[in-house]
Amino acid sequence: MSVEAIRKRLSKLRNKMGKTKLDAVLVTKKENYTYLSGFTGSSAWLIITESKAVLVTDFRYTGQAEKQAPDYEISTYRGSIVKGLNDVFESMDIEMLGFEDANLTVDKYTEYREKFNVKEMRALGGMLDELREIKDNEELRLIKKAVEIADDTYTHILGAIKPGIAEVELAAEMEYHMRKLGASGASFETIVASGNRSSMPHGVASEKKLQLGEAITMDFGALYNGYCSDMTRTVFLGKPEEELKKIYKIVLDAQIEASAGVKKGSSGKDIDMIARNMIAKEGYGENFGHGLGHGVGLEIHEEPRLSMTGAKIMKNGMIVTVEPGIYIDGLGGVRIEDMVVVKDDRPVILTSSAKELTVI
């Protein structure tokens, strides 16, 4: 990440801090310390005040931190991280400390509360995660690349689908192809679910072998420079049953209509209901049991959520998935998923893979 991008993110955080009585915030969640500093190692604590930013790490990562987080003062602790943090708190005269309550176990919070040399610790709630909801230009560039890798992988894997191949073989080939294209790995455990297993929304790849007449749902994504992509396509190996063809059209129509509804000012619930009402109207409401979508970025599932309880209002720069599905035990299932950027009333579909019914 560029120094300019990091400075803008720190400015956003400090604007939020200015509305509180906090002297500093302690950042412990990896996605948040990476977002705010550019540091990608596995051991870091950020201490951020209105005027200073300190990255505390151990000797394994000192050089990496100095290179990746040039705007931060790097403090290397030895032995106890609590002592290392206390040294910084005392040097900066910190009394009121904000902390990521959702990222600490009760045990760790208890230890920190007992041993930190600060007067008060105050929970931040979702304040830091909220900073990441709207993607900046650098994030959008990385996410687009992750999406491109997934799109290319989908085209590639269509040529490998045949009777007798195991789901795990397809998943392995998909992940290998994504790595060849520059991904550091899959952004989550690859789902390849065929036949009746396609009625399982999260049916990760198994030893089951593909057979003619089956639906094959593939839900996967690439991890590129820390950023995730997420897409789903359902294809058919040989001629599908008529009901599968019927539900495919229903899901596709709902997916297209809901994607068009990803607009600035709409709530996650509003968008979810577009697809949910269309599917229910066709008599399959009970067969669509999960939320319509979720935000994607440094995490594969983050805010905002598109669901029946999704209260977040869409803002320009948010990126969400739109992934309705119908699942029928004993028959199979269909899910179709794209990643969509909020841009006023003209949503931008990032995923470019074809969505028409595909028979192999």
Q: β-strands 191-194, 185-186: how paired?
A: unpaired
Calpha distance 85→91 (Å, rounded): 10
* Local structure of residue 50 (DSSP, 8 states): S
In sign, the C-alpha dihedral spanning 131, 135, 138, 144 is positive
Give one word for 223, left, alpha or beta, with left for phi > 0 and alpha for psi -120 to 50: beta
Strands in the chain per DSSP E = 24-27, 45-48, 53-57, 73-76, 96-99, 120-123, 185-186, 191-194, 214-220, 222-224, 227-228, 231-237, 293-295, 302-306, 319-322, 325-328, 332-335, 338-341, 348-349
Is the pLDDT at 353 greater than 90, yes or no?
yes
Assign 1 a pLDDT band (cuts: 50, 70, 90): confident
In sign, the C-alpha dihedral spanning 175, 180, 181, 184 is positive
- Give yes or no for a contact between 142 and 226, defined as CB atoms under 8 angstroms apart: yes
What is the token pair recorded at 10?
């720190």
Fold observed for domain 3-131: Creatine Amidinohydrolase; Chain A, domain 1 (3.40.350)
Give one word for 185, left, alpha or beta, with left for phi > 0 and alpha for psi -120 to 50: left
| CA-wise closest residue to 173 among 95, 143, 181 | 181
| CA-wise closest residue to 328 among 195, 204, 192, 166 | 195
Domain boundaries, the chain: 3-131, 137-349
Average pLDDT rounded to a whole number, residues 69-83: 96
Digit-coded pLDDT (tens) for 296-319 = 999 999 999 999 999 999 999 999
Query: Which one-letter amino acid corresponds to residue 188?
Result: F
The percentage of the chain sitting over the pLDDT mark of 90, rounded to a whole number, equals 98
Quick one: pLDDT at residue 268?
A: 98
Average pLDDT rounded to a whole number, residues 128-147: 97
Assign 142 a pLDDT band (cuts: 50, 70, 90): very high
What is the token pair recorded at 43?
């051991």
Query: Which one-letter amino acid corresponds to residue 343?
Result: K
Q: Residue 346, Cβ neighbours under 10 Å: how many?
A: 11
pTM for this entry? 0.95
Digit-coded pLDDT (tens) for 203-261 = 999 999 999 999 999 999 999 999 999 999 999 999 999 999 999 999 999 999 999 99
Calpha distance 215→239 (Å, rounded): 10
Calpha distance 166→211 (Å, rounded): 10
- Give yes or no for a contact between 238 and 213, defined as CB atoms under 8 angstroms apart: yes
Whether domain 137-349 has CATH 3.40.50.1820: no
Q: β-strands 24-27, 96-99: how paired?
A: parallel
Calpha distance 58→248 (Å, rounded): 52
What is the token pair recorded at 40?
């990608």
CA atoms within 13 A on the CB side of 162: 2
